[in-house]
Amino acid sequence: MDTFKKLKLFYWPHKKYFLWSLFFLLFVTVITVVYPIILQVTIDEVVLQDRYELIPWICITFLGLMVFKGLSTFSFQYLGDIFGMTTVYHIRGALYDKLQTLAFSYYDNAKTGDIMSRLTADVEGFRFFLSVGFAELIRVVLLISISLSIMFYYSIPLALVTMAAIPFLAIVVFKFDKRVHPAFREIRKSFGKLNTRVQENISGMNTVKSLSREEFEIGRFSSSNDNYRQNYLKTSKLWAKYFPFMEFIGNVCVVALLAYGGFLVMEGRLGLGELVAFFSLVWYILGPLMNLGFIVNQFSQAKASGERLIEILEAEEDIIEKENAMEVPIQGHVTLKNVSLNYMEDDDAALKDISFDAPPGKIIGLIGATGAGKTSITQLITRFYEPQVGDVLIDGRPAADYKLKSLRSHIGFVLQEPFLFSTSIKANIAYGSPDISDDQIIGAAKRAQAHEFIMELPNGYDTMLGERGMGLSGGQKQRIAIARAICINPSILVLDDATSAVDMETEFKIQKALREVMIGRTTFIIAHRISSLKHADEILVLEKGKVVERGTHDFLLKHNGPYERIYNIQYQDREAIMNTVG
């Protein structure tokens, strides 16, 4: 029950719905057990005693009980659903909130499809047990308890014969639970992997088709699909194995009941009506006991689902905000002192002993091969990751001294692969500053060289975008992302290969516009094109996480170093080729 104890804070505050549900369930159960008593009275008092005048009263009583049971059943089921849905509403909200606070390091290893599976299928599996399974377990306990009490009232020896089967059924159910829970956990895992496979395939469909890998993807999906099927069939096999055995034990009990009960009737120690009532009551015991297999089934699914939900809720948050963190205006003075960063404990360092000082208005260029550590530097400034060694200072204070929301609201990002939401262009540009005016949105779009192509779209700024900006070119998406960064008026601006997807003419226009935006802001430009870095106040050349060269464009060209080699590759070799062609 550890899983349910850990999730108690989500369902216990709403226990009133559950308790009221149980209140009405008690009426439903009691009325259910009254049926055999009415049957016993009908046989022993009406039929055998020729008291047929009681039939109208019995019918009226029975009809009244039916109406009351119907109302109680509605109340019991409705309140149970409120309890379950209210609980998972808060669980799903807590999961989503947690996903917003988890650091990038969590998502480095998480699978999108698996996370989606937890927020949908696993949450629903847990809800079903709260709404139905748990109440069904209480119903079984009540039904067995009340039925046994009546049976002992009718005949203690016959009741003891009936109870003889209960320990055997309990042992079978216990063994079933012990084996079925691990099986359901594997089902949940395989379902998460199946979702991940579908999500990755749909997201990467362009790559799949361009490389003609459809058959390969079909094979991978078939493998994941078959894994899910095999795990499910394994659980079905367990159910098929244990349920007939439970049913056999129940039927043996019924045979013993009929044999011994018939003997007691012939001996005059038990009435015929009481035997008939006894026969009905025994199914109120054996039926629920055999139904325990279904309840255990639901419990195991809920437990497996709950464990997967807890894994997210208890995931360690690498980036912790201090209790006394500040929320003050940030000027944008960025300093790194001997900073080193490891993403994984056993991996090579992503950054090694990085130091620089960038006062407001200064432009820092970062260049180097893929994986050299360029983006890692900017992710430390925003506290997406924490350095293992060294200090990251903003305006002379450690970055950890600021509230995360306050710190990040002063940093504008334009990523190499911008993400656009499935909403209007206007909403995408204003995403970081939802309160800005339409004029400010248009102004930002003009500065990002995006206004012209936006106005050519059918609905202009109100044009709805497809998933991830589907319908726009890479350059158009990047210009919208640049406009979004301009709107938040950041103190620190990070351009992570922001012009990599635009042509040379558009790049020139954007660079001209960005020079105006950079005035008074600390700017970090990550680029592969030297043309984007020429105007930087200081350029850091990185190799394998280390700064191997630093200085201005003109200074670095005078030294026979990595920067000059990059320059020669991009310019001099190109000019030689053009001259040869000419």
Write out pLDDT tens, residues 17-35: 989 998 998 888 888 888 8
Strand partners, 526: 366, 496
C-alpha closest to that of 481 among 168, 473, 313, 396: 473
C-alpha closest to that of 365 among 509, 563, 565: 563
Write out pLDDT tens, residues 1-11: 678 888 888 88
Residues 500/453, Cβ–Cβ less than 8 Å: no
Give the full edge-to-edge strand order of the sheet including 334-341: 351-358, 334-341, 389-394, 397-398
For residues 426-446, average pLDDT: 87
pLDDT band, very low/low/confident/very high, at 392 (cuts 50, 70, 90): very high
One DSSP character per residue, 33-88 reads HHHHHHHHHIIIIIITTT-GGGHHHHHHHHHHHHHHHHHHHHHHHHHHHHHHHHHH
pLDDT score for 209: 63
C-alpha closest to that of 481 among 416, 554, 393: 416
Write out pLDDT tens, residues 212-267: 677 877 888 888 888 888 888 888 887 777 777 777 777 777 777 778 878 887 87
For residues 364-373, average pLDDT: 86
Mean pLDDT of the chain: 81
Write out pLDDT tens, residues 449-500: 888 888 988 888 898 887 666 778 777 888 888 888 888 888 898 888 766 6
- Structural domains in the chain, CATH included, are 2-313 (1.20.1560.10), 328-410+528-582 (3.40.50.300)
pLDDT score for 165: 73
C-alpha closest to that of 539 among 349, 415, 377, 393: 377
pLDDT score for 577: 45
d(CA 563, CA 538) in angstroms, rounded, equals 12
Which range among 109-113, 302-306, 421-425, 446-450 shows the weakest confidence by mean pLDDT?
Answer: 109-113
d(CA 546, CA 492) in angstroms, rounded, equals 23
pLDDT at 337 over 90: yes
Give the full edge-to-edge strand order of the sheet including 538-543: 411-414, 492-496, 522-526, 363-368, 538-543, 546-551
Residues 509/449, Cβ–Cβ less than 8 Å: yes
Residues 238/2, Cβ–Cβ less than 8 Å: no
96 CA to centre of own chain: 7
d(CA 87, CA 98) in angstroms, rounded, equals 16
d(CA 273, CA 258) in angstroms, rounded, equals 13
Query: Model's pTM, two decimal places?
Result: 0.71
Query: 197-201, 288-292, 496-500, 517-521: which has the highest mean pLDDT?
Result: 517-521
Residues 21/131, Cβ–Cβ less than 8 Å: no
| Cβ neighbours of 211 (radius 10 Å) | 10
Higher local confidence (pLDDT), 344 or 357 = 357
For residues 281-296, average pLDDT: 74
Percent of the chain scoring above 70 in pLDDT? 90
pLDDT score for 357: 92
Pure H helices in 343-418: 374-381, 404-409
Residues 517/453, Cβ–Cβ less than 8 Å: no
pLDDT band, very low/low/confident/very high, at 506 (cuts 50, 70, 90): low
pLDDT score for 578: 44
